[in-house]
Structure 1
């Protein structure tokens, strides 16, 4: 199937379908799943790391990612491509490295999206059973969710943005209500600033704390993926990226602090080890009434759906970019004539998710301990690696042509951000057994990171093959947005 060449859209259609800063922020923040991070990830972080100062880790990473975003945003002003990381690395470090990066990105984003289905299935099955007495296997709920996400992913991007906006507002209001309740009626130590101090952070496993905090930011970098569907991407992508990073970091730091204040800084670690995610619901019920637990549990599910949908769209656009440039089968680069969506890539991702879930279900594996834990940690590790590589790509890209960018954007910020992110990646790798909840000598600690290594090397080798045997394809790598099919009717006016 040939890559589709669409007629230029009219001004009216561009105005009607183009997405702006708020839409992208919804996609980015939804991918980080606020309620899931606050109710699930934050208690786990306190419990595993033993660091009372975990809220400070969010603030520190906010600074790191804002610095990283200076170079990333500068790159987005000059390259508009649904492949984002792939195209940035291809044009900054070389086409073969770009293909290697794209293979890692496909593994990472697919792992994140499919892994979340495991947690969704477990929570959905448990909630329905406790509320209605209906006992269905977890995978039935997951397959239904895959179908719903598949339909939305097939449709126009602005419809997805509206769905995410509703879900995001619901879960955000839930977390804000929880936070306010903890500060208005604090635990036995009152409103203490202890969780925001370095001493409180350094008393625990700092590396593990930073790894958990970084997982809360997953998805912030996905704004550039929607560049081809934006109104004025040169301005929209940088603004959305900075805004999303700042909102995510401050919101999660405040919420982690609220959890510590509600339980008491001297009791937060022990409480999370005893109750896990249940602590969020217990503290909420104590201050907001018993109905809070039931309502928050439902919104916990919608939070997961929002994250799944956001990652689904990101994966579909990566596949689209690679199909458009014939790195992957050209059919993946097709654009739906009515919806302007990468419908073939969306369907392919839906099929892969369903197949993976069915394999785990048939094997009788636990959806949380295996599907969720293995794949989301694999995805997070891959995305951290990609962020560090992109920092190097920014330096390489602007070394050849400054393009009017300031020294801070094209050199200083990418160096500082890249070094910091490389340190986070190394820390995550060294603490991978802790993140997996596995023994230090478990084979999973090298098999899962090995998947990323193999994918990257395979992509690099394939890029070199294309250079030698299919030079016309190789030349277009990372430049697919410059000609051929484009996503949506909503390109810049």
Structure 2
């Protein structure tokens, strides 16, 4: 049934059609718990603790990393206030681009759709590199079996593709189990670090604002923001939740709060374990092995081995979470004519975006194959292709998401102002404006220091080639939007409307047939 309608040309809200046909994702699959686990899985706790935290300490030398998580938690909450309100008015698997289209118009939405597709694809594909590298290492260590990194990567690619085409509640159970195990392990580490601190004891020096001074602050924010990526995915599943107006909003704020507190405490306890004065030096010496090196004398070798295993399973959960997001963006784009129409059809059996999942699997296969082709093992550095795949694609994806968040904050302001709701929504619009400024600051630093983010030499072509991928995606989206506006204005008008537009078409057809 159509739960709302509007006159032609009106800007009033259309309620989302919660149907069971192939123009709709299957409704009622996710509740609060399932959705929360799905979005938190993308943060990959062990990968964040071992990778993001150690890298930020080592590369940027910022002792106040725990305070950065608090600051970014506030920034993400400011963003979430307007974003969550928008999710109550627009239920669309295209989330970012749908909101941007409804606020800034079809061309902006078309650009954003391709940026989102490329950004989340890059985030997902990048994890295959670190996953394959770690699995190959575990097989060598425990079973004395030597395999190329890309073999476990391709195996994971197939499993992810199959799960991505299945029911979303099954996926939520898989990533949920993995996430809970990771969180429990990190909590054990935290307790061990607190019980056996370094030479400076339970020092709170890492929360001193003076620790954030220095030229590396902006770039450190760019590193750290990657730890939050995942909470913003909640509206992507709005069509599949049982009560989208309530569940999506609740999950976003729960996720931001959990991430900020959990990672701030863990980053602080890492500095406690080494001593605040020694955490930067220790991170530079141990790199991503820092938490394992600190855990082993406190918890034993067996526990450290278990950490390595769950690092791998966490990476898989992260891959699956991002894969599901990409599949839904592709589905939304296909449904609205921004991709081939077939991609915008849900599976009749599972209600999942099966062709969107297949598309992302093929993209992943092509990218992984490209990195396999340049793998010169055993003659060169065997870790180079996989670490480049992880670092390059991860930072390209994060850059794209930061841009989308910035533009979405602006779109929220325009959307409610045009609806005549600026007065009623004044508080939320102020929060969106503050979020746009803060996120714009982070985006600017990310572009400026992109060579630092990917570990390239100063002046390296990678500093502009890799960010250029996001720019190219925006140009492709703009081109598609211009073509649709000129040749298929009816399709262009649907951008951001989702399955609402199809219900209006059907209603109009029934009226004309009378």
Q: TM class, shorter-chain normalised?
A: over 0.9
TM-score of the superposed pair, with normalisation by structure 1: 0.94
| 1:350 CA drift (Å) | 0.8
| Residue of structure 2 in register with 1:491 after alignment | none
Deviations, residues 427-465 of structure 1 (Å, cap 9, x unaligned) = 111221111111111000001111111211221232122
| 1:370 CA drift (Å) | 1.7
| Residue of structure 1 in register with 2:432 after alignment | 414
Give yes or no for contact 2:18–2:27 (8 Å, CA) kept in 1: no
1:223 aligned to 234, 254, 265, which one?
Answer: 234
- Aligned residue for 1:137, secondary structure, equals coil
| Residue of structure 2 in register with 1:401 after alignment | 419
- Aligned residue for 1:379, secondary structure, equals helix
Residues 204 and 51 of structure 1, relative CA distance in 2, 3 Å threshold = farther
Q: Which aligned pairs between 1:131-170 and structure 2 lie closer than 5 A?
A: 131-170=142-181
- 2:450 counterpart of 1:432: yes
- Aligned residue for 1:19, secondary structure, equals coil
Whole-angstrom CA distance in 1 between matches of 2:204 and 2:459? 38
Q: Which aligned pairs between 1:275-354 and structure 2 lie closer than 5 A?
A: 275-354=286-365
2:139 aligned to 128, 142, 148, which one?
Answer: 128
Whole-angstrom CA distance in 2 between matches of 1:15 and 1:84? 17
Whole-angstrom CA distance in 1 between matches of 2:107 and 2:135? 43
| Residue of structure 2 in register with 1:237 after alignment | 248
- Aligned residue for 2:285, secondary structure, equals helix
Give yes or no for contact 1:195–1:201 (8 Å, CA) kept in 2: no
Worse overlay, 385-394 or 423-432: 423-432
| Residue of structure 2 in register with 1:211 after alignment | 222
Give yes or no for contact 1:39–1:280 (8 Å, CA) kept in 2: yes
| 1:409 CA drift (Å) | 4.8
Give yes or no for contact 1:31–1:311 (8 Å, CA) kept in 2: yes
Larger RCO of the pair (alpha carbons < 8 Å, separation 6+): 1
- 2:270 counterpart of 1:270: no
1:42 aligned to 39, 50, 53, which one?
Answer: 53
2:81 aligned to 70, 78, 85, which one?
Answer: 70
| 1:15 CA drift (Å) | 11
- 2:467 counterpart of 1:449: yes
| 1:323 CA drift (Å) | 0.3
Give yes or no for contact 1:281–1:292 (8 Å, CA) kept in 2: no
| 1:406 CA drift (Å) | 3.9
Ranges in structure 1 where 5+ consecutive residues have no aligned partner: 1-5, 486-493
Residues 92 and 176 of structure 1, relative CA distance in 2, 3 Å threshold = same
Whole-angstrom CA distance in 2 between matches of 1:161 and 1:273? 36
| Residue of structure 2 in register with 1:117 after alignment | 128
| 1:484 CA drift (Å) | 4.2
Residues 409 and 464 of structure 1, relative CA distance in 2, 3 Å threshold = farther
| 1:368 CA drift (Å) | 3.2
Residues 402 and 156 of structure 1, relative CA distance in 2, 3 Å threshold = farther
Worse overlay, 443-452 or 409-418: 409-418
1:51 aligned to 62, 66, 74, which one?
Answer: 62
Residues 255 and 93 of structure 1, relative CA distance in 2, 3 Å threshold = same
Give yes or no for contact 2:26–2:352 (8 Å, CA) kept in 1: no
TM-score of the superposed pair, with normalisation by structure 2: 0.90
| 1:130 CA drift (Å) | 1.2
- Aligned residue for 2:42, secondary structure, equals helix
- Aligned residue for 2:89, secondary structure, equals coil
1:105 aligned to 116, 120, 123, which one?
Answer: 116
Ranges in structure 2 where 5+ consecutive residues have no aligned partner: 1-16, 377-383, 504-514
- Aligned residue for 1:129, secondary structure, equals helix
How many residues align? The count is: 477
- 2:52 counterpart of 1:28: no
Deviations, residues 316-343 of structure 1 (Å, cap 9, x unaligned) = 0000000011111001011111111000
Whole-angstrom CA distance in 2 between matches of 1:395 and 1:111? 29
Give yes or no for contact 1:402–1:410 (8 Å, CA) kept in 2: no
Worse overlay, 418-427 or 397-406: 397-406
Deviations, residues 386-411 of structure 1 (Å, cap 9, x unaligned) = 00000011011101114598434542
